[in-house]
């Protein structure tokens, strides 16, 4: 009797808690039609447009909340449309000077920031100066510094300031309703940088909240900030179609709401929710139930979303993305569990372990590239021969690349560390970001290959949450780590500088410096002749092969997974697949 009562109660409970939700196979109506839910495995690091330089942060920042002077025209990466500027500069309309050194952007009038203030040319100028002069280690400031000031950092290799406020102020000026950019040298890719990185915030708002006030004497105080130093770290005030409602860092969720005072017609979506869900099975089930509209899926998980009712996959999207494994030449061993004993004693590695070229070459020959591409990308990737990948000026498929060769790997390791390494062995931890199963596959392949060479070689693997991973590698804590690069603007400079210039993103994280590479990156950036540039990037590819600062393991094609009720999606190699243009999206 008791059991019957319990069973009855259970039934009542189930019916009460799950009314009308079990109709499988029936045509499902669009769930939450005015709210778009994106699930990813990475979490944003910062919402400051002058600090953030990773895909998870960028998705929130641009183009949903902050906007640029000009924008890419839909899926095309070589055509632009005006955004916060009222015209796209060109030689034809006279807004680009004949010598290619001056770009004039007439600023659109009547555009309001989310706090209600009106955007002025001075706000645009301030935002550009702030973007350049804030210049945090490993940040995006070089993107404007290089074409405008001819230097890719505000600080030299010893940390001393090498630019002045006057340099920056002269490079970006206000002329009536125009903002004028004075380039250091002609730079053909300047408009493509502007289309993604000329993000505008109000000067008065920033200054009122403790940020730089735009004055000449104080900028150095605001240079190279820590992650949370700025109010803009977790507050946003742009002109875009969505406003930040909340960034809940504990629940790992960002909520954006429609900006009804937007200068164009308001977005069709009322709300965008971007949530971090590290577990793939949970993301997949939420997509299946229609509780998510777009989810991040690794290539290794693709088979699990194929054939799902109401779900659409867009595959074989060409990318300008490079997956790599990076060697840190000067590891910060303080409190760093990844270096083991911190000595070359078989139980760890010294901080300068990877500064030995034979070690790096040993790893380069030990990695099974073909297996990685087969298992990690289901064959949908190619092995690059350096940072200049297919689709970029200067890519040359005839240049050499490393192949999996155990004999050569053994030879290199036997010569490493004066011939000692083979006998002493080593142990360290390779890191990658949580949820990235492709990088996990790569890490496992590296571990297996290395440990099979010599029983005294030990590689452990661990994953870290995206934002923590970025912080750790920025603080030089990484040993050998898996991290990629997605294009900022489609030009070889965007790959040569971050991978090979000593002031670039990875060389800075990894303390890599090659004077030849520095010189060539600089030359490549300022040279106008495409043939000469191509020759320079071929030389840089050769340096990357000889010096092996990183292992260039794959250039994948991409795919995206979304509910079939999503409308308005388009693919742009610069914007996607890391970010979505939520303004264009709606559900039907």
Partner 1 sequence: MTTFIARRLALLPFVAVGVTVLIFSLLQFLTPAMRASLYIHDPKQLNALPDIIRKYDLDRPVYIQYWGWLRQVLHGDLGWSETAREPVADAIRGYFPATLELGMYSFACILALGIWLGTAAAVNKDRALDHLSRFTSISGASLPTFVWALLLLMVFYGHFGWFPPGRLSLDADLYVRGGQFHAYTGLMTIDALLNGQWWIFWDAVRHLVLPVATLTYYLTAVLVRITRSSMLETLRTDYVRTAEAKGLSHHVVIDKHARRNAMIPVITLGSLLFVGLLSGVVITETVFNLPGIGRWGVGASQQLDIPAVTGFALVFAGLLVLANLCADVLYAVVDPRIRLR
Residues that bind partner 1 (CB under 8 A): 14, 16-18, 21-22, 24, 32, 35, 37, 226-229, 245-246, 248-252, 255, 271, 273, 277-279, 281-282, 285-286, 288-289, 291, 334-337, 462, 464-465, 468, 471-472
Nearest to 479 by CA among 465, 496, 464, 497: 464
User: Helix, strand, coil proportions of the chain in percent (round to 5)?
Assistant: 35, 20, 45
CB nearer to partner 1: pick between 218 and 282: 282
For residue 337, the minimal CB distance to partner 1 (Å) is 6
Query: Which residues are CB-contacts of 125 (< 8 A; sequence separation ≥ 6)?
Result: 172, 173, 174, 179
Contact (CB, 8 A) for 128 and 177: no
Contact 402, 451 (CB under 8 A): no
Residue among 255 and 357 whose Cβ is closer to partner 1: 255
Smallest gap, in angstroms, from Cβ of residue 275 to partner 1?
8
Q: What SS3 state is found at 580? A: coil
- Measured from the CB atom, is 125 or 275 closer to partner 1? 275
Residues 330, 355: Cα–Cα separation, whole Å: 7
Whose Cβ is closer to partner 1: residue 278's or residue 498's?
278
Alpha helices in 247-292 (DSSP H): 280-288
DSSP secondary structure code for residue 62 in this structure: I
Instruction: Please identify, using beta-carbon distances, which residue of 291 and 546 lies nearer to partner 1.
Output: 291
| 3-state SS assignment for residue 66 | coil
Q: Which residue number, 468 or 557, has a Cβ lying nearer to partner 1?
A: 468
Interatomic CA distance for residues 507 and 136, integer angstroms: 14
Report residue 283 as tokens.
Answer: 């993301």
* Shortest CB 90 distance to partner 1, Å: 44
Q: Indicate the residue among 247 and 537 with the shorter CB distance to partner 1.
A: 247
Per-residue DSSP letter, 400: -
Closer to partner 1 by Cβ: residue 265 or 303: 303
Alpha-carbon distance of 353 to 327, in angstroms, equals 9
CA-CA distance, 234 to 381, in Å (whole number)?
Answer: 36
Q: Supply the minimum distance, in Å, between the C-beta of residue 557 and partner 1.
A: 29
Q: Shortest gap between Cβ of 14 and partner 1 (angstroms)?
A: 7
**CB-based contact 383:554 (threshold 8 Å):** yes
Tokens, residue 252:
């790992």
| R_g (Cα) of the chain, nearest Å | 25
CA–CA gap between residue 212 and residue 222 (Å, rounded): 6
In whole angstroms, the minimum distance from the beta carbon of 425 to partner 1 comes to 24
Q: 568: phi > 0 → left, psi -120 to 50 → alpha, else beta; which?
A: left
| Interatomic CA distance for residues 159 and 155, integer angstroms | 5
Nearest residue (CB) to partner 1, 189 versus 472: 472
Pick between residue 36 and residue 457 the one whose CB is nearest to partner 1: 36
Look at residue 203 and give its three-state secondary structure. Answer: helix
Q: What is the rounded CA–CA span in Å between residue 331 and residue 353?
A: 8
Question: Which C-beta is closer to partner 1: that of 202 or that of 278?
Answer: 278
Query: Cα separation of 270 and 495, whole Å?
Result: 37
Considering the complex, what minimum distance in angstroms separates the CB of residue 305 from partner 1?
13
Paired strand residues for 428: 459
CB of 244 to partner 1, least distance (A): 12
Residue 21 or residue 303: which is nearer to partner 1 going by CB? 21
* Rounded alpha-carbon distances, angstroms, from residue 27 to 24, 30, 556: 8, 10, 35
From the list 576, 543, 551, the residue with the least C-alpha distance to 562 is: 576
Nearer to partner 1, 461 or 535 (CB): 461
Q: Min. distance of Cβ 330 from partner 1 in angstroms? A: 18
Q: How far is the CB of 114 from partner 1 (least distance, A)?
A: 17
Minimum distance of partner 1 from residue 288's CB (angstroms): 6
Q: Which of 397, 437, 399, 383 is nearest to 551 (CA)?
A: 383
Q: With the C-alpha atoms ordered 572, 577, 583, 586, is the resulting torsion angle positive or negative?
A: positive
CB of 137 to partner 1, least distance (A): 14
Query: Smallest gap, in angstroms, from Cβ of residue 226 to partner 1?
Result: 6
Question: Could you tell me the two tokens for 170?
Answer: 């002269």
Residues with Cβ within 8 Å of 530's Cβ and at least 6 positions away in sequence, in order, are 393
Compare residues 25 and 110 and give the one whose CB is closer to partner 1.
25
Smallest gap from Cβ 205 to partner 1, in A, equals 21
């Amino acid at each position: 009797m008791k059991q019957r009562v319990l069973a009855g109660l259970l039934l009542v409970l189930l019916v009460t808690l799950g009314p009308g939700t079990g109709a499988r196979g029936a045509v499902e109506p669009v769930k939450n039609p005015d709210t778009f839910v994106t699930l990813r495995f990475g979490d944003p690091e910062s919402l400051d447009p002058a600090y953030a330089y990773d895909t998870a942060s960028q998705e929130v920042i641009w183009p949903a909340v902050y906007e640029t002077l000009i924008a890419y025209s839909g899926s095309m990466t070589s055509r632009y449309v005006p955004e916060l500027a009222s015209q796209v500069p060109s030689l034809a309309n006279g807004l680009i000077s004949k010598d290619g050194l001056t770009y004039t952007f007439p600023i659109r009038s009547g555009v309001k920031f989310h706090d209600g203030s009106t955007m002025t040319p001075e706000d645009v100028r301030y935002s550009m100066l702030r973007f350049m002069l804030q210049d945090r280690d490993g940040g995006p400031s070089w993107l404007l510094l290089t074409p405008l000031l001819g230097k890719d950092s505000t600080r030299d290799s010893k940390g001393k300031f090498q630019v002045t406020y006057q340099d920056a102020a002269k490079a970006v000026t206000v002329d009536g309703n125009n903002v004028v950019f004075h380039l250091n040298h002609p730079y053909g890719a300047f408009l493509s940088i502007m289309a993604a990185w000329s993000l505008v915030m109000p000067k008065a708002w920033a200054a009122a909240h403790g940020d730089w006030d735009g004055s000449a004497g104080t900028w150095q105080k605001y240079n190279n900030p820590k992650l949370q130093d700025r109010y803009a770290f977790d507050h946003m005030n742009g002109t875009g179609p969505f406003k930040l409602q909340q960034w809940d860092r504990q629940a790992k969720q960002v909520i954006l709401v429609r900006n009804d005072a937007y200068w164009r017609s308001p977005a069709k979506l009322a709300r965008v929710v971007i949530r971090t869900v590290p577990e793939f099975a949970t993301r997949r089930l939420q997509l299946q139930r229609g509780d998510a509209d777009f989810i991040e899926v690794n290539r290794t998980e693709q088979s699990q979303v194929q054939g799902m009712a109401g779900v659409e996959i867009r595959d074989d999207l060409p990318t300008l993305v490079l997956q790599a494994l990076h060697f840190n030449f000067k590891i910060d061993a303080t409190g760093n569990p990844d270096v083991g004993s911190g000595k070359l004693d078989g139980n760890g590695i010294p901080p300068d372990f990877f500064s030995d070229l034979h070690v790096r070459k040993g790893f380069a020959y030990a990695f099974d590239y073909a297996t990685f591409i087969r298992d990690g990308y289901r064959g949908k990737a190619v092995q690059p021969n350096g940072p200049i990948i297919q689709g970029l000026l200067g890519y040359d498929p005839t240049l050499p690349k490393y192949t999996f060769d155990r004999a050569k790997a053994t030879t290199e390791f036997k010569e490493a560390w004066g011939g000692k390494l083979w006998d002493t062995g080593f142990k360290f931890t390779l890191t990658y970001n949580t949820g990235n199963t492709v990088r996990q596959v790569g890490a496992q392949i590296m571990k297996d290959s290395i440990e099979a060479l010599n029983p005294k070689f030990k590689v452990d693997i661990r994953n870290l949450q995206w934002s923590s991973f970025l912080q750790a590698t920025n603080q030089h804590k990484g040993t050998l780590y898996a991290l990629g690069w997605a294009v900022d603007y489609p030009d070889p400079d965007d790959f040569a500088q971050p991978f090979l210039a000593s002031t670039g993103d990875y060389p800075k994280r990894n303390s890599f410096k090659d004077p030849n590479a520095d010189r060539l990156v600089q030359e490549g950036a300022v040279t106008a002749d495409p043939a000469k540039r191509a020759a320079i990037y071929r030389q840089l590819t050769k340096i990357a092969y000889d010096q092996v600062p990183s292992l260039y393991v794959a250039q994948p094609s991409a795919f995206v997974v979304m509910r079939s009720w999503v409308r308005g999606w388009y693919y742009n190699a610069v914007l996607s697949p890391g970010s979505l243009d939520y303004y264009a999206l709606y559900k039907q």
